[in-house]
Amino acid sequence: MRILRMLPGRLVTALAVVVGASILIFVAVRSLPGDFAQLLLGPLASDAAKDAIRETFRLDRSLPEQYWAWMTSALHGDFGISVASQNPVLDEFALRAPTTVLLAVMAMIITLAVGIPLGIYAGTRPARGRSAITGRLLGSIGISVPEIVLGSLVVYLFSRFDLGLSVTGFVSPRDDVGAALVSLLLPALVLSVFCVAATARTTRDAVMGVLVEPHILAAVARGERPAFIVRHHVLRNALIPVFTFTATIFAYLLGGAVLVESVFSVPGLGSYLVQGLGRRDIAVVQTGVLLATVIFVLCSLVIDVVTALVDPRITPGRKRGLA
């Protein structure tokens, strides 16, 4: 019942965010400098040819009419035609989506496998000496270094020296899943660096916050072993904010793939979106940003629901002190 009371408000908020984002996306794309018909046909094209292009892509209508036509078509699954390939944009995205999803899933697995244990270790150990300084330094570097800088460095090192992995030779997961995993390992490692550092820091802070709770002191007073206390009392409470954070990170990974795919020449959704922006491919840019927004909103909605299920104290509208 708590979830049912919460869902209508969350759904209305999510819908408002998507509509607001779609308006911003539409206005931003239309505000790009230059005439679309001239960019597509060149400066020597006739006025009749330019008018035909504007009519084909509905650019001869007013902005509200263009927005309404775009949204109504999108609701029916028609996101337009790519100028470069002359194919439906949705087909182009479906062709590249497995690569980006596989890259994001690999980065997510690395994040969870490395970030959470590191955070638990740092949170349950006293922060002192060289190891604490080294941990803080590595964490700060991981969070502050942009993916494009780290990716460029990795591309240089693995191109210059024989380090066992290649930055070229991409294999699509449609052809060979095993070879695709190997070819995407370096991009996934680069994409996960920020997430590992942020997850480790969030986990450490959550663990340290739970360790000072009265029930932990009571467990210590009962003589329970440290490993048992961490496993049964600390992790159950500390992993709730960690779960919320990591679920948000998955949406970030899909967006962060834009730069990493461009650096490693991976033909996924991110690099396709960058190419569409360079070619002024309106349908591609609009669809890519809108789908990214929808994915982020859906992830946030799932996080709210799961968090409310796991921790009843987070139920919206519940006043403090009420049972």
pLDDT one digit per residue (tens) for the chain, 323 residues: 666 777 788 888 889 988 998 899 888 887 877 677 776 677 777 778 778 877 777 777 888 888 888 888 888 888 888 877 778 888 888 888 888 888 888 998 999 899 888 888 888 876 666 767 777 777 777 778 888 888 889 888 988 887 777 777 788 888 888 888 888 899 999 988 888 888 888 888 888 888 888 888 888 888 888 888 888 888 877 777 777 777 778 777 777 777 888 888 888 888 888 888 877 788 888 888 888 888 888 888 887 787 777 666 665 555 444 43
Contacts of range 239-244, beta carbons closer than 8 Å, 24 or more positions apart: 239/116, 239/203, 239/206, 240/206, 240/307, 240/310, 240/311, 241/202, 241/206, 242/116, 242/119, 242/199, 242/202, 242/203, 242/206, 243/303, 243/306, 243/307, 243/310, 244/303, 244/307
Residue with tokens 């480790």: 200
Beta bridge partner(s), residue 81: 88
Q: Are 285 and 30 in contact (CB under 8 A)?
A: no
Residue 90 phi, psi dihedral angles, 5° rounding: -65, -35
pLDDT of residue 138: 78
pLDDT of residue 110: 92
Residue 82 phi, psi dihedral angles, 5° rounding: -70, 130
pLDDT of residue 323: 37
Q: Is 81 helix (H, G, I), strand (E, B) or coil?
A: strand
pLDDT of residue 80: 83
Cα dihedral across residues 54, 272, 156, 144: positive or negative: positive
pLDDT of residue 313: 63
pLDDT of residue 1: 63
Cα dihedral across residues 160, 166, 169, 172: positive or negative: negative
pLDDT of residue 113: 92
Q: How far apart are CA 270 and CA 100, in angstroms?
A: 7
pLDDT of residue 274: 84
pLDDT of residue 283: 84
> For the packed helices 185-211 and 235-263, what is the interaxial angle rounded to 10 degrees?
160
Q: Is 242 helix (H, G, I), strand (E, B) or coil?
A: helix
pLDDT of residue 321: 43
Exposure of 190 in the CB half-sphere (CA atoms within 13 A): 26
pLDDT of residue 3: 67
State the pTM of this model. 0.78
Residue 172 CA to its chain's centroid (Å): 21
